[in-house]
Amino acid sequence: MKFGISKAEITPRTPVFMAGFADRTHESEGVHDPLYAKAVLLQANKTLAIITLDLVGSDRSFIDGITSALENRFGLRRDEVLINFSHTHHAIAARGPVQSEFGAYRRGSVIDFTMVLDTLLTLVSDCYDRLEEGRLWLARGTSRFGVSRRKLTEQGVQWKPAYDTEIDHDLFVLKLVDGERQVRGILYNYGCHPTSMSSDNYLISNDYPGKTSSVLEETYPGATAFFLQGCAGEIKPMKSASGDDFISCTVEQMEEAGAELARAVIQVMEASAFSPIQGPFRTMLTEATLRMERTPVEHFEGIANDPAIGEARRRGAARKIEQIEKGFTKEQTSIYIAIWHLDDATRLIALEGEISTEYAMLLKQLFPGGKTIVLGYSNGVSFYVPTRKMIAEGGYEVDFHPLGGPFSGIFFPEIEDVIVGQIAKADLSLRLAGSASTIQRDQG
């Protein structure tokens, strides 16, 4: 196997209106830590590209523009490229050249598309130039770094720490080692919102993943650390939980949280059993169509006229009323789903959108064996994707969806069946393709 790694800074050079929190009142006031674009190529029977961006997210047009350019320049097919966002709420969003419904972050400043495109083309070109022989290894640990923010009470779901709620605690580490057994790449996966700090922070930052990656790169000189955001839709850092509420961490507390996660990754690096990944790689990109109910306009009028509801939600309700009156609402949408088989036992599933931790647990039950990595915030960040159980319970991750886009109402519960079924079907296709290739090689 060969690999190549490259990274570049993409920190805004002037003040920007940061995306992620709707109640910020002015532009950024400086930079706490730099934002990066990072790329790694993995080359075995085919070449795979993993790109991570320290941004809130993007619309579909951005993803389509980047992947089309990578295919034209390098021949990388769309199913061979994975773009994962850290989803930091202390940066900006990305938007492509074509207006798109996908991407809920409309108010924040957006990064220049041409600049990001040029940067990523350069990074991937550098990765090809730097390809070297090496090995890819996988280990699985656990961490109690995150906590659910969906506390189920007699009054319904409240935005409070839910310490007893089951979440996905997996901490996966993919380690790239060169021919001299030196660690060159650390790709660590955990699902948690980078919201240690809150809307009162006006310093550009990647929040805790920025600190985690810097600690890892200091600990392993010559290595590049990649944060792969997992299914973090309702997960916040435990560091920001205080009793029955959440606090806005100071910069120092945020750094403590990042260092804490770094120690957990180092524990996996130093004490866990790694297994080799040697391919063959098999990949598929599919789309799941998600349908939603048609909520009466009176529901949104109630939100828009209720002074007890936050200003951002009231604005969203007012926009929704206008969309309904003009007939601009939609009753279905879709998300990208990428399935990568890195070998016969190891799979990576990457979903577009703010995916609930419950999907990670569902998929790991569907594919037992401890070698299934599930990412959210990949190939676009569009909207919250709740499970059947969450839709029945209600709460922010369910109710905010129609306020953030041209959608007619909340999702139907059947979206869970559609998503899991689509993944199971795609995974079976890849396994059958792998079996056919094995038989062909044996007969040859």
Q: What is the pLDDT of residues 268-277, one digit of tens each?
A: 999 999 999 9
Query: Which of 226, 255, 277 is the last residue in one of the domains?
Result: 277
Q: How far apart are CA 408 and CA 386, in angstroms?
A: 16
Same domain for 269 and 383, yes or no, is: no
Q: Where residue 406 falls among pLDDT bands split at 50, 70, 90?
A: confident
Token couple for 403: 């306020």
Query: Which percentage of the chain shows pLDDT scores above 70?
Result: 95
Residue 101's pLDDT is 54
Same domain for 187 and 224, yes or no, is: yes
Same domain for 289 and 150, yes or no, is: no
Instruction: Give the angle subtended at the CA of 210 by the CAs of 207 and 214, to the nearest 5°.
Output: 150
| pTM score | 0.95
Token couple for 371: 């070698």
Q: Does residue 102 surpass a pLDDT of 50?
A: no
Same domain for 311 and 201, yes or no, is: no
Helices marked H in 130-167: none
Q: Does residue 105 surpass a pLDDT of 50?
A: no
Residue 395's pLDDT is 94
Q: Does residue 444 surpass a pLDDT of 60?
A: no
DSSP state of 222: T
155-182 pLDDT, tens digit each: 999 999 999 999 999 999 999 999 999 9
Q: Where residue 103 falls among pLDDT bands split at 50, 70, 90?
A: very low
Residues 6+ positions from 69 with CB-CB distance below 8 Å: 117, 120, 121
Long-range contacts of 20-26 (CB under 8 A, 24+ apart): 20/56, 20/87, 20/88, 20/89, 20/90, 20/91, 20/105, 20/108, 20/195, 21/89, 21/198, 21/199, 22/107, 22/310, 22/311, 22/312, 23/199, 23/310, 23/311, 23/312, 24/199, 24/202, 26/202
Mean pLDDT confidence for 97-123: 78
Q: Does residue 393 surpass a pLDDT of 90?
A: yes
Is 31 exposed, middle or buried (CB count within 10 Å of its CB: 0-12, 13-18, 19+)? middle
Token couple for 70: 């990578």
Query: Which of 277, 297, 320 is the last residue in one of the domains?
Result: 277
Same domain for 159 and 177, yes or no, is: yes
Same domain for 337 and 384, yes or no, is: yes
Q: For the chain, how far is it from start to end, CA to CA, in angstroms?
A: 23
CB atoms within 10 A of CB 328: 13
Three-state secondary-structure class, residue 250:
coil
Mean pLDDT confidence for 47-70: 97
Amino acid letter for position 115: M
206-238 pLDDT, tens digit each: 999 999 999 999 999 999 999 999 999 999 999
Same domain for 262 and 289, yes or no, is: no
Picking from 356, 354, 394, 358, the residue whose alpha carbon sits closest to that of residue 377 is 354
Residue 104's pLDDT is 44
Q: Which of 67-81, 322-336, 395-409 has the highest average model confidence (pLDDT)?
A: 67-81
Q: At what angle do helices 311-326 and 297-304 cross, to 10 degrees?
A: 150
290-330 pLDDT, tens digit each: 999 999 999 898 999 998 888 878 888 898 899 899 888 99
Same domain for 56 and 118, yes or no, is: yes
Residue 136's pLDDT is 98
Token couple for 418: 């559609």
Token couple for 343: 């070998």
Same domain for 350 and 402, yes or no, is: yes
- Please provide the average confidence, as pLDDT, over all residues in the chain: 94
Strands (E), 11-77: 30-31, 36-43, 47-53
Picking from 355, 362, 368, 339, the residue whose alpha carbon sits closest to that of residue 432 is 339
Contact 50, 44 (CB under 8 A): no
Residues 6+ positions from 385 with CB-CB distance below 8 Å: 233, 290, 335, 351, 353, 354, 355, 356, 359, 376, 411, 415, 419
Q: How far apart are CA 104 and CA 339, in angstroms?
A: 24
334-376 pLDDT, tens digit each: 999 999 999 999 999 999 999 999 999 999 999 999 999 999 9
Same domain for 328 and 382, yes or no, is: yes
Question: Strand pairing partners for 146?
Answer: 237
* Domain total in the chain: 2
Domain limits for position 181:
2-277
Same domain for 131 and 260, yes or no, is: yes
417-438 pLDDT, tens digit each: 999 999 999 999 999 987 755 5
Mean pLDDT confidence for 331-335: 95
Q: Does residue 109 surpass a pLDDT of 90?
A: no
Query: Which of 261, 277, 293 is the last residue in one of the domains?
Result: 277
Same domain for 77 and 103, yes or no, is: yes
Q: How far apart are CA 335 and CA 297, in angstroms?
A: 26
Contact 102, 215 (CB under 8 A): no
Mean pLDDT confidence for 74-93: 97
